Amino acid sequence: MPDFTEPQFDHPPRSAVQAVGAILWPSFFAACVATMVFFAFVDPIALRDQTFPDLPMSRAMGYSVGFFMFWLATAASSLFTWILLRPPSRFNRALPPK
Partner 1 sequence: MSKKIPLDIVDDAGNSYYVSERKIYAREISGRFQTLRKIAVWVLLGMFYAFPWLEWGGRQSVLFDLPARKFYVFGLTFWPQDFIFLAMLLIMAGLTLFFVTALAGRLWCGYACPQTVWTEIFMWIENAIEGDRGRRMKLDKMPWNREKILRKGGKHLAWALFALWTGFTFVGFFTPIRDLFARAPFVSAGWQWGAWETFWVFFYALATWGFAGFLREQVCKYMCPYARFQSAMFDRNTLIIAYDPMRGEPRGPRKRGLGSVLERGRGLLDKVTAYDYVFRASGNAVAADAAAQAHGITGMAEFNPVREPLPKFAPEELGDCIDCTICVQVCPTGIDIRNGLQYECIACGACIDACDEVMDKVGYPRGLIRYSTQNAIDNRATHVVRPRVIVYGLLLAGLFAAWAWGVTHRAPLIVEAMRDRNALYRIAEGGEVENGYTLRVVNKDDTARTLEVTVDAGNGIRLAQGPFEVKAAPEEVLTLPVILRGPADSKGAVPVRFTVAAADGSVSKQVESKFFGPM
The residues that touch partner 1, with contacts defined as CB under 8 A, are 1-9, 49, 53, 80, 83-84, 86, 88-89, 91-98
Cα–Cα dist 36/56, whole Å: 23
DSSP string spanning 28-88? HHHHHHHHHHHHHH--HHHHHHHH-TTS---HHHHHHHHHHHHHHHHHHHHHHHHHHHS-G
Tell me whether residue 48 or residue 67 sits nearer to partner 1 (CB atom). 48
Tell me whether residue 32 or residue 73 sits nearer to partner 1 (CB atom). 73
Tell me whether residue 21 or residue 88 sits nearer to partner 1 (CB atom). 88
Q: Whole-number minimum distance, CB 7 to partner 1, in Å? A: 5
Cα–Cα dist 74/28, whole Å: 7
Q: Whole-number minimum distance, CB 53 to partner 1, in Å? A: 6
Tell me whether residue 3 or residue 40 sits nearer to partner 1 (CB atom). 3
Using an 8 Å Cβ cutoff, are 23 and 75 in contact? yes
Q: Whole-number minimum distance, CB 47 to partner 1, in Å? A: 14
